Amino acid sequence: MSELNKIALKILSNRKGILAADESNGTMTKRLESINVKSSPENRLKFREILFSSEEGMKNIGGVILYDETIRQTASSGKKIPELINSFGSVPGIKVDTGAKRMVGDPANALRMGETITEGLDGLRERLEEYYELGARFTKWRAVIKINKSCPSDLTINANAHALARYASLVQEAKMVPIIEPEVLMNGDHNIDKCFEVTSKVLQECYRELKFHNVNLEGTILKPNMILPGDKCTSRSNVQEIAKMTLKCLKENVPNEVPGIAFLSGGQSEIEATQNLNEINKINDTDFIISFSYGRALQQGALKSWGENQENILKTQKIFSQRSKMNGLASTGQWLKELETE
């Protein structure tokens, strides 16, 4: 077992998943403003520290994805944020891409102008060296794929898969585990079959590029979308269909060497993300560890509570701990809706 494989398994084993706390300052500003809290480095840290220092909540968190600002900050206890995360047996990680930028598209096709390519490869080797010294042991890079009548184009899929592979190769060189995140957005009126088709194509291209770049798949984690109908699709799918289609997609397109899959929530509500993860694990007949890498679906309730009363830290931690525990149960197919009211 390689060191990278050990890290990947530590993050996802024993009912654990990933807390995605890597929101950019712009995104975090919107979330804080929604609860009437001023966005400042101090307030962003204050909320995140409440989560990271929750002993009960961190029991089901094997890894925390940080933003550049956060990995450099110090908690009120005097510990550096990576040290605080380590103290709960969790692994600090870091988002390393610099965002999805407009793809140079076909000027004759206006619909394709919304496609994006994720940037951040320039200077990445040097940044990875610094992040390792700061305590990071895994990383995240997100590619964004949209579906409409003209998207995604082969160009966008190929370009993003190539960038993901170059990123993953550099990360492993730096002795860290790369999270591969090719997100097919749920925005649109497409049905579940279209999501399955596009996600399959994206995953096939990603793993073709990863193998071409000699990336050790045993030292990676896949962070994909679930197979869902678009949010504007009139034909809705039940949890059983979502689970069946999602597992089929993984079995057909993800190599067996990949140790674990940590789903993104991608706009699902807190309960939906937990319920769908649970249903997938109930029928999981693969060797993959199937877990979660949630942002809003772990933090939304806690953020709302904190906005109502910033002094009541224990209540905010209790709400976060409940979501963490529920997703921990879902990662082994043992979640029940009745437990949500406990």
Q: Which domains does the chain have, with CATH numbers?
A: 3-341 (3.20.20.70)
* Rounded distance between C-alpha atoms, residue 280 and residue 2, angstroms: 28
What global pTM score does this model have? 0.96
Is it the case that residue 162 has pLDDT exceeding 50? yes
Rounded Cα gap, residues 14 and 172, in angstroms:
24
- Arithmetic mean of pLDDT over the chain: 95
Model pLDDT, residue 341: 77
pLDDT of residue 110 exceeding 50, the answer is no
Distance CA 330, CA 59 (A): 14
CA distance linking residue 294 with residue 268, whole number of Å: 10
Task: Report d(CA 223, CA 211) in Å as an integer.
Answer: 17
| Cβ partners under 8 Å of residue 197, min gap 6 | none
Distance CA(51)–CA(113), nearest Å, equals: 38
Rounded-to-integer distance, Cα 337 and Cα 342, Å: 10
How far is Cα 160 from Cα 327, in angstroms, rounded to an integer? Answer: 29
Least confident of 163-167, 233-237, 322-326: 233-237
Model pLDDT for residues 54-86, shown as the tens digit of each residue = 999 999 999 999 999 999 999 999 999 999 999
Residue 113 confidence (pLDDT): 66
Mean pLDDT of the 118-126 span? 98
Question: Within 10 A of 63 (CB to CB), how many other CB atoms are there?
Answer: 28
- Mean predicted confidence (pLDDT) in 158-178: 98
Instruction: State yes or no: is 232 an active-site residue.
Output: no
Mean pLDDT, residues 251-266 taken together? 97
Residue 240 has pLDDT above 50, yes or no: yes
Q: Residue 282 corresponds to which tokens in the numbers above?
A: 């109930």
The verdict on whether 223 is a catalytic residue reads yes
Q: How much of the chain is in helix, strand and coil states, percent to nearest 5?
A: 50, 15, 35
For 7, the token pair is 């890290």
Catalytic residue among 115, 181, 209, 218: 181
Decide: residue 154, CB within 10 A, 0-12 exposed, 13-18 middle, 19+ buried.
exposed
| Arithmetic mean of pLDDT, 37-48 | 96
With a CB cutoff of 8 Å and minimum separation 6, the contacts of 10 are 62, 91
According to the model, what pLDDT value does residue 267 have? 87
User: Cα(322)–Cα(317) distance, rounded to whole angstroms?
Assistant: 9
Inter-CA distances, 300 with 204, 265, 340, Å? 33, 12, 15
Check pLDDT > 70 for residue 334. Answer: yes
Sheet strands (E) in the chain:
17-21, 61-66, 91-95, 100-102, 116-118, 138-145, 177-184, 221-222, 260-263, 289-294
Q: For residue 297, what pLDDT is reported?
A: 95
Residues 34/299, Cβ–Cβ less than 8 Å: no
- Mean pLDDT, residues 82-104 taken together: 95
Pair 21, 295: CB distance under 8 Å = yes
- Exposed, middle or buried: residue 340 (CB in 10 Å: 0-12, 13-18, 19+)? middle
Q: Which of 10, 95, 223, 325 is catalytic?
A: 223
